[in-house]
Structure 1
Amino acid sequence: MAGSQEERLKAERLRGLDREITCDVPVLLDPLIRAHHRGPGDPTHRRLGPGHWLRASLTPEGPVLLRLAAAGAMVAARAWGPGAEWALDQLPMLLGAADDPSGFEPRPEHEALVQAHRRIGAGLRVGRSERVWEALAPACLEQVVTGTEAFRAFRLLVREFGEPAPGPATDPESAAYGMRVPPPAHVWAKIPSWRFLAAGVEQRRSATLVRAAGRATALERSLELDGQAAGTALRSLPGIGGWTSAEVRQRAHGDADAWSIYDYHVAKHITYALVGEPLDDAACLEILEPYRGHRYRVQLLLTLAGPRKPRRGPRMSLPTHTPYATKGRS
């Protein structure tokens, strides 16, 4: 009897919960979920095809694996794990239900933005994951390094310290096989410094992450604040500046104004697209001022459909001062 009950419970866990959500506009699922995707091999996200994603997350109710498929304005979802109900209830927010694009209008002199908005603007929404720590931990790893290095560190650390995602992620025949849930804050806080170093994360970044882990519960309360107050709360932590704060608010808070200031590339890309010349953050702030309230929306539109600044000179090189630099790069 006990064995049959265990089999029934296992079957229920594997079956998952289903829900369909119909939005006001066609859903652009790829940019919504790609905002949370941390590069090739990210064990927490997997793209199965256009508008079709798997996402592993740690909700207040426990881990969840989500499968999302968009068709027009409808999104079909299946969720596995203890956090399934929470994730399905929260899904409209992840899809941008709280985002209000009213009042945003590209200026005629910014032709690239006008064209980008005409092509994709009607369906573009800024999603809100409502998982602050889940956005902050990888943002700490991404500070002042190349994306390649940061994504590799996140991949290695989540594979080692994250738990297997629920449902079919343990089935070798499933498309979700091998996916993992990102570690909770208390697990990040206990990762030894030498394990961070082995993943290519030097002490400055790991110390910022570990300090922030001690305030993770308090940081979740920033979801109750408006964008400016939430930014102030995040920047109150040592090592968390304007860029990291913006990266978190884009994802967790759905802040359509939180553009990636102080990023190595973003200001140059925005100004090149809008005025034909790559300029610094101060100039970009001035150019974006008429779009206050929607500055991250401008960044998104230009990233998805704007002209790209021509590449000149050498690319940034990977550092060689951490242990992983002597090993093969996966």
Structure 2
Amino acid sequence: MTNSEWRMTAKRDKVLSVSAPVPPEQSIAWPRGKGRALLPLANNSDETIRLHLRGEDPDSACQFGFSLPGEANKSSGSVTLELSPGQVLSLPVSITPPPPSLLGLAPQTYHFTFTVINLSQKERAWTVMGRLKSKPIIGPGLLGVTGICLIALFVPLYRFIENRENREDAFSATPAAEASEAGALWPLLNRGVEQSAPQTPQLAPPDLESLTYEAMFKEVGAAYNLDWRMLAAMAYQESYLDPMAVGALQEMGLMQIMPATWNVWAPKAGVSDPFDPYSNLQVSATYQVYLREYFSGKGHPGNKWMLAAYNWGPDNALQVIESGADWGDVPLHVRRYVLKIMQTDSHPVLSDPRLQESVGGVRE
């Protein structure tokens, strides 16, 4: 389904607006067992409306959980709630597919729908769609690496056995020859590792319960050579440290990443959940490094133009540079954004007590 088709799933009338889940499509990989999305709802009327929501998939294979404000997560697959006049709500939803297959060449795709019934309007219903891909535990990449390693182990072993047989027949082998053959194992193994080395940092999934926000910013900052205080200031300015935030243009998560940007850079960072704070920060850092290197190549090293491009869009920033204009021609709100974030020694985020909270404490 194309991006335009996803957008067509949004529903709106004079009473209720129901938008496609954010993100509309995502991938999960073991050991992460569920997908997470936000379902945007808006009461356009001047009266309270009562809604019934349910999640479904054609094969009834997935389980759905709805998180109402102030209540524990519900996993019954449906929920009833009220929206007050003018209220806008992005409802957190979890999608749990069956356990992934052990071996596979392609992910299992699950198409699902969220149905919203307006009980206050003669049970009028809206339906929006989403898609979840569950990767096998051992996919094509790992299968390929395993095959290369097996070959790397088998070839020198075969040579060793063959040489030993020849040695027994001819009685001509020397200790130096044996050492030479055994040493052939290491170049083969090392070459396989080098070929699979990622171009961007692939950080191991952390224990979010024991990780504080400050520690997370420091860890990702060190991995991507970015000032952790700058990352924290950006998160403060972008989402006010809210990993479940959704912006007016569907920007997602802690660092308010646009869906199109997420789709490009999340695979490079090896993550899939935009509402996981650590994953969201990794994608943001990957994108920032790209912007910094790109504008450095245009004669503007450092963080100033990188931050402007992150906030305003790289095309807009590039247009200013290529037109011969200077920093003063950048819109005032963008320059203020950059100035606030670059004040890393005095930014209010550094004294925010939430920096010492557990990253995992904001999950479900």
TM-score of the aligned structures, taking structure 1 as reference length: 0.24
Give the structure, 1 or 2, with the largest relative contact order (CA under 8 Å, sep 6 or more).
Answer: 1
Q: Which has the larger radius of gyration?
A: 2
Choose between structure 1 and 2: higher strand proportion. Answer: 2
Choose between structure 1 and 2: higher helix proportion. Answer: 1
